[in-house]
């Protein structure tokens, strides 16, 4: 090896830094109404102030991402609050937004989550037409009428539970049927190909 | 992907262009501020402004010059366009859209920023839309929607393609006519036999023998004609798909790497193999059958009309009914069997999953659980299979009954006709036979639309490639240059996507014979720089000069023959080591090959294998280790005595000792030859004449190892970091690997 003479130059410093990174990786900080203040920004996002950070200093974030840890099974608990840059880092976790934060904050965060997650719920199926390996859906959703196309393969319609379906279209949009047994007999017949 | 939609008339009201203002990009956005689906929203970028149009109003209007930040932020199953402006320095949401437009808006945002900066470049996207933005039809890997685009239709191209096989087509057409005539003759012969001999009581043994002989010979002729026709169709289909396959392959090879890399790996393979097979299958199975059906159906109807037009009409009336019924039956059956296939697929993948993860299953002791899971899957499959078989068994006779409806009608009314003496028994028999001929192919005809659509999609995908223009090609005055090895970058800018430069304003002058080490974190553009030297891509801006000649003015093949390349992952073709080594120089002598192998420290391990240089490598062949592959690749590269040698992580899979040996050999070899080397293990580059550090799209540092170490810049940081890692791993590990090698 050609660089023996440089060995050990800043060794200790680097080791310390790696230790610190590992430490940070393992850290789990819960946020609640006592230690975190969320506020709406003029641009329609949410900012976060933590009066007393880990090392006692105040932390401020212009905009934070509000991310569900279990988007399908636990939409209101374990909400991860993250920084917005590409290698998004976790600032902290809200264990239960129905309990741990004020009503206002909860509303604010739920707005952010409904912005982040766009999964219209299918309320009525007008038609599912199958043509050459694709199925064309014409449905009514909670967010308005919608037409979309899915591939005819098993990954397009996924069962999240015995009654709950998640449908992914060609573009990667998702639609949910929370309980397909609630659909009418006619609608079920159209759907039975995917059950 | 279309980045410039036509703004509908209603939305144009919201937009009054100023002087010299024109729309550059336009995309719909389909989620409103209330989170509901929206159908009248558009994002418009002109050369002066960015507008968010909702309905007939411009909701937001920003001067491009005021925008300080513009980005498409992809969220979960939707995206938002975020901006910061001089007036509103806080990030705010401009528009929200579904996944259909996320990528489109990302491109447009980059385009808008380029416009703001006065860069005249129009951003284009090579991605394909998944669904037609106009009619919503699923697009299968083609640029334009077959229904909505107005280019000469694929059908027309198909006819033109068939034009090349006129002779065969004429023979096939003639054969089909013959078949039709012979088929029409059979019932007529029967009629004559029944009426004139059997019923008239004139016939004896002789007539019966004659009749049988005629029938046998007619049947023989029909079979021969069918075989001939089928044979012609197969040979034409095979020829056609072979021609298409070759054309496609040539085209793909000419097309630049960017075309290939923009596509999923299997996709081009699919086009060359599956799509051309689809064409062949159509020619074999459907093409001839289609026309012979039509010909025989028309002639049957004509003959029937001459016999009795009323009865003919009565039997024809049921054709559309039978057709409709059989189509709906088929749909239902298809649905059921699709479901069965779906379950089968699920069972299969479930089984595969469990078997592949058997180690995990056993080590966690969850056998019971998995067995139960699999039992459920097979249960499901068995149930649906049973149901389908029962359904099919009971439905099939019904379908046959329906398909024969016309015949019953003819039998009934024709029978009445015989009783009333309007018909002879022979004529009735003849008529019934014709009716069967009319209804017989109906079931098969219902498959035609599907087959035609399949053919069309395949053709579309084939022509999608054929119509592509290669980005890199020799121009008329390209020169054949004997490379000496001077390479000069002059303000070179390049990006794989038009809006995202990977290299920006690179200036570097390399003397012939110099060895340049390229250093930088991954993703900074080292390999890109090398791709440009190899001319796999063309520079976007600036000039790349080889011996003072613009690289674009060189004849590609001649230039490439003078470059030697060793990559991290080296591809060896299926074949012997010998053939692989002389890949770039087919006329190399055995001595040259041994010398090259010796230089690459490969000779010894090659000779150790039982078959020596004749050892078969590649899939199913002798398995080589990563280091051995690399050594072969080095030998392959140096055999050609290249003037430019490119080493992209060329020795990464080697242990320190053989790396050292090869380095020594390469040193001798690279004496007269300009070398560009990339290595993560920085010690590999210690003999480089100069090291070039690339960081943030630019050349950050240039100099020898010692110079850069003194600068204490990026290179210094990289070297020390690497030494840290080595120290951490410990000397033991290093020694262990060396001992193993």
pLDDT, tens only, B354-397: 888 888 889 998 889 989 989 998 998 999 899 988 988 887 78
Q: Is 50 exceeded by the pLDDT of residue B322? A: yes
Q: Give chain B positions within 8 Å (CB) of A152.
A: 338
∠ CA B372-B373-B379, nearest 5°, is 85
Please state the three-class secondary structure of B233-280 as a single string: HHHHHHHHHHHHHHHHHHHHHHCCHHHHHCCCHHHHHHHHHHHHHHHH
Q: How far is CA B538 from the centre of its chain?
A: 23
Which residues are paired to A67 by β-bridges? A80
With respect to CATH, is domain B145-308+423-471 assigned 3.40.50.1110?
no
With cut-offs at 50, 70 and 90, classify the pLDDT of residue A6: very low
The two structure tokens encoding residue B491: 């303000």
Q: Is B523 on the interface with A (CB under 8 A)?
A: no
Task: List the domain boundaries for chain A.
Answer: 12-113, 122-194
Q: Give chain A positions within 8 Å (CB) of B136.
A: 136, 147-149
Q: Is 80 exceeded by the pLDDT of residue B68? A: yes
Q: Is 70 exceeded by the pLDDT of residue B264? A: no
Q: Is 50 exceeded by the pLDDT of residue A12? A: no
Which of A165, A140, A141 minimizes the C-alpha distance to A155?
A: A165
Q: Is B723 on the interface with A (CB under 8 A)?
A: yes
Which pLDDT value is given to residue A127?
92
Which pLDDT value is given to residue B342?
79
Which of A26, A128, A66, A181 minimizes the C-alpha distance to B76?
A: A66
Higher pLDDT, B270 or B216: B216
pTM of the model: 0.66
Q: Map residue B340 onto helix, strand or coil.
A: helix
Which pLDDT value is given to residue A167?
93
Higher pLDDT, A131 or B594: B594
Q: Is 80 exceeded by the pLDDT of residue B655? A: no
Round to whole Å and give the CA distance between B531 and B472: 13
Residue burial B331-362, b: 16+ Cβ < 10 Å; e: rest: eebeebbebbebbbeebeebeeebeeeeeebe
Which pLDDT value is given to residue B626?
78
Higher pLDDT, B656 or B25: B25
Alpha-carbon distance values, B234 to B161, B238, B283, B332, B450 (Å) = 16, 6, 7, 32, 20
Which pLDDT value is given to residue B621?
66
The two structure tokens encoding residue B25: 């990009």
Q: Is 90 exceeded by the pLDDT of residue A125? A: yes
Q: Is 70 exceeded by the pLDDT of residue B311? A: yes
Which of B58, B28, B64, B30 minimizes the C-alpha distance to B46?
A: B64
Which pLDDT value is given to residue B206?
84
Which of B282, B283, B267 minimizes the C-alpha distance to B454?
A: B282
Cβ pairs bridging A and B (under 8 Å): 126
The two structure tokens encoding residue B35: 């989170």
> Computed over its alpha carbons, how large is the radius of gyration of chain B?
36
Which pLDDT value is given to residue B697?
83
Q: Give chain B positions within 8 Å (CB) of A3.
A: 682-683, 719, 722-723
With cut-offs at 50, 70 and 90, classify the pLDDT of residue B31: very high
Identity of the highest mean pLDDT range in B268-272, B569-573, B689-693: B689-693
Which pLDDT value is given to residue A137?
93
Which pLDDT value is given to residue B151?
60
Q: Is 90 exceeded by the pLDDT of residue A112? A: yes
Q: Is B682 on the interface with A (CB under 8 A)?
A: yes
Round to whole Å and give the CA distance between B173 and B171: 5
Which pLDDT value is given to residue B82?
93
Higher pLDDT, B375 or B401: B375
Interface of A with B in 144-163 (CB under 8 A): 144-149, 152-154
Which pLDDT value is given to residue B471?
67
Which pLDDT value is given to residue A83?
92
With cut-offs at 50, 70 and 90, classify the pLDDT of residue A140: very high
**Per-residue pLDDT tens over the stretch B133-173:** 777 777 766 666 766 665 667 778 788 888 888 888 888 88
Distance from CA of B100 to the nearest CA of A (A): 5
Q: Is 60 exceeded by the pLDDT of residue B737? A: no
With cut-offs at 50, 70 and 90, classify the pLDDT of residue B39: confident
Which pLDDT value is given to residue A66?
94
Which of B687, B513, B666 minimizes the C-alpha distance to B599?
A: B666
**Per-residue pLDDT tens over the stretch B200-241:** 777 778 888 888 898 899 889 989 988 998 888 888 888 888
Is A42 within 8 Å of B92 when comparing Cβ atoms? yes
Q: What CATH class does B9-116 carry?
A: mainly beta
Q: Is 90 exceeded by the pLDDT of residue B440? A: no
Residue B459 neighbours by CB under 8 Å, 6+ apart: B154, B157, B158, B275, B279
CATH topology classification for B475-562+642-741:
Rossmann fold (3.40.50)
Which pLDDT value is given to residue B336?
82
On whether the CB atoms of residues A121 and A142 are closer than 8 A, the answer is: yes
**Per-residue pLDDT tens over the stretch B173-198:** 888 888 888 888 888 888 888 888 87
With cut-offs at 50, 70 and 90, classify the pLDDT of residue A138: very high
Q: Give chain A positions within 8 Å (CB) of B137.
A: 149
Interface of B with A in 72-131 (CB under 8 A): 75-78, 80, 82, 88, 90-93, 96, 98-100, 130-131
Q: Give chain A positions within 8 Å (CB) of B38.
A: 144
The mean of the pLDDT values for chain B is: 83
Mean pLDDT lowest among A137-141, B140-144, B230-234, B307-311: B140-144
**Per-residue pLDDT tens over the stretch B82-119:** 999 998 888 899 999 998 898 899 889 988 988 898 87
With cut-offs at 50, 70 and 90, classify the pLDDT of residue A13: low
Which pLDDT value is given to residue A67?
93
Distance from CA of A103 to the nearest CA of B (A): 21
Which pLDDT value is given to residue B498?
61
Alpha-carbon distance values, B430 to A35, B147, B209, B295, B360 (Å) = 96, 45, 20, 19, 71
Which pLDDT value is given to residue A159?
86
Which pLDDT value is given to residue B256?
67
Q: Is A87 on the interface with B (CB under 8 A)?
A: no
Q: Is 80 exceeded by the pLDDT of residue B246? A: yes
Q: Is 60 exceeded by the pLDDT of residue A152? A: yes
Which pLDDT value is given to residue A11?
44
Mean pLDDT lowest among B73-87, B109-123, B495-509: B495-509
Which pLDDT value is given to residue B607?
92
Which pLDDT value is given to residue B26?
92
Residue B269 neighbours by CB under 8 Å, 6+ apart: none
Alpha-carbon distance values, B728 to A18, A112, B332, B720, B725 (Å) = 11, 44, 66, 12, 5
Round to whole Å and give the CA distance between B480 and B546: 12
């Amino acid at each position: 090896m050609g660089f023996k003479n440089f060995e050990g130059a800043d060794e200790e410093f680097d080791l310390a830094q790696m230790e610190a990174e590992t430490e940070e990786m393992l850290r789990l900080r819960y946020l609640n109404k006592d230690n975190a203040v969320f506020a709406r920004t003029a641009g329609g996002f949410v900012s976060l102030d933590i009066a007393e950070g880990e090392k006692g200093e105040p932390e401020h974030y212009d905009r934070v991402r509000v991310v569900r840890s279990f988007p399908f099974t636990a939409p209101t608990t374990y909400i991860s609050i993250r920084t917005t840059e590409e290698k998004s880092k976790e600032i902290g976790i809200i264990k239960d937004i129905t309990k741990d934060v004020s009503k206002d904050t909860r509303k604010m965060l739920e707005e952010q989550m409904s912005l982040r997650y766009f999964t219209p719920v299918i309320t009525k199926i007008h038609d599912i037409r199958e043509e050459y390996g694709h199925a064309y859906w014409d449905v009514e959703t909670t967010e308005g009428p919608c037409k979309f196309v899915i591939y005819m393969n098993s990954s397009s319609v996924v069962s999240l539970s015995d009654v709950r379906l998640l449908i992914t279209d060609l573009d990667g949009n998702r639609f949910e049927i929370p309980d397909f047994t609630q659909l009418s007999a006619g609608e079920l017949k159209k759907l039975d190909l995917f059950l | 992907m279309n980045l410039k939609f036509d703004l509908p008339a209603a939305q144009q009201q919201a937009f009054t262009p100023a002087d010299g203002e024109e729309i550059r990009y336009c995309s719909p956005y389909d989620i409103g501020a209330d989170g509901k689906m929206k159908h009248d929203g558009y994002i418009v970028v002109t050369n002066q402004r960015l507008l968010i149009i909702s309905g007939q109003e411009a909701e937001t209007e920003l001067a491009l010059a005021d925008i300080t930040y513009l980005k498409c932020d992809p969220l979960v199953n939707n995206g938002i366009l975020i901006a910061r402006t001089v007036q509103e320095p806080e990030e705010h949401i401009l528009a929200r859209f579904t996944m259909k437009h996320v990528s489109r808006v990302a491109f447009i945002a980059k385009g808008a920023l380029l416009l703001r900066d006065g860069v005249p470049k129009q951003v284009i996207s090579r991605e394909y839309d998944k669904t037609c933005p106009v009619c919503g039809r699923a697009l299968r890997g083609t640029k334009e929607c077959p229904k909505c685009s107005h280019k000469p239709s694929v059908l027309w191209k198909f006819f033109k393609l068939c034009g090349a096989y006129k002779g065969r087509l004429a023979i096939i057409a003639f054969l089909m006519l013959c078949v039709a005539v012979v088929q029409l003759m059979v019932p007529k012969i029967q009629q004559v036999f029944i009426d004139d001999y059997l019923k008239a009581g004139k016939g004896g043994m002789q007539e019966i023998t004659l009749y049988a002989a005629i029938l046998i010979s007619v049947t023989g002729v029909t079979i021969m004609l069918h075989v001939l026709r089928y044979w012609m169709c197969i040979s034409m289909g095979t020829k056609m798909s072979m021609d298409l396959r070759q054309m496609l392959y040539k085209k793909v090879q000419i097309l630049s790497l960017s075309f290939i890399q923009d596509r999923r790996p299997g996709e081009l393979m699919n086009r060359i193999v599956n799509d051309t097979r689809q064409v062949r299958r159509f020619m074999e199975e459907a093409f001839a059958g289609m026309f012979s059906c039509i010909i025989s159906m028309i002639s049957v109807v004509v003959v029937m009309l001459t016999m009795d037009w009323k009865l003919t009409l009565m039997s024809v009336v049921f054709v559309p009914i039978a057709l409709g019924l059989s189509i709906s039956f088929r749909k239902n059956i298809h649905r059921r069997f699709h479901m069965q296939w779906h379950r089968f697929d699920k069972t299969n993948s479930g089984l595969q999953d469990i078997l592949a993860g058997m180690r995990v299953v056993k080590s966690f002791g969850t056998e019971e659980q998995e067995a139960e899971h699999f039992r459920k899957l097979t249960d499901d499959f068995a149930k649906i299979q049973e149901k389908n078989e029962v359904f099919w068994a009971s439905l099939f006779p019904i379908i046959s009954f329906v398909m024969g409806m016309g015949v019953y009608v003819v039998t009934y009314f024709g029978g009445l006709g015989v009783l009333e003496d309007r018909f002879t028994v022979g004529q009735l028999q003849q008529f019934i036979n014709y009716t069967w001929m009319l209804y017989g192919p109906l079931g098969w005809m219902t498959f035609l639309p599907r087959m035609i659509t399949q053919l069309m999609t395949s053709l579309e995908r084939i022509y999608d490639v054929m119509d592509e223009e290669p980005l890199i090609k020799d121009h008329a005055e390209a020169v054949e240059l004997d490379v000496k090895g001077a390479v000069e970058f002059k303000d070179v800018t390049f990006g794989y996507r038009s809006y995202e430069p990977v290299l920006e304003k690179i200036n570097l002058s390399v003397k012939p014979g110099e060895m340049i080490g390229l250093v930088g974190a991954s993703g900074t553009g080292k390999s890109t720089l090398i791709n440009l030297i190899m001319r796999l891509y063309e520079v976007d801006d600036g000039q790349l000069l080889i011996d003072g000649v613009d690289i674009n003015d060189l004849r590609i093949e001649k230039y490439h023959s003078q470059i030697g390349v060793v990559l991290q992952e080296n591809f060896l073709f299926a074949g012997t080591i010998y053939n692989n080594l002389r890949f770039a120089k087919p006329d190399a002598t055995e001595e040259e090959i041994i010398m090259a192998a010796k230089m690459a420290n490969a000779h010894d391990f090659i000779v150790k294998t039982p078959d020596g240089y004749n050892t078969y490598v590649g899939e199913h062949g002798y398995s080589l280790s990563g280091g051995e592959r690399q050594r072969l690749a080095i030998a392959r590269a140096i055999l050609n005595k290249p003037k430019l040698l490119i080493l992209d992580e060329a020795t990464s899979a080697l242990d320190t000792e053989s790396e050292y040996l090869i380095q020594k050999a390469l040193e001798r070899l690279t004496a007269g030859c300009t070398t560009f080397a990339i290595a993560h293990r920085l010690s590999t580059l210690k003999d480089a004449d100069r090291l070039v550090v690339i960081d943030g799209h630019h050349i950050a540092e240039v100099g020898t190892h010692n110079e850069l170490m003194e600068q204490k810049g990026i290179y210094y940081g990289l070297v020390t970091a690497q030494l840290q890692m080595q120290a951490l791993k410990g000397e033991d590990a290093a020694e262990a690997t060396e001992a193993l090698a």
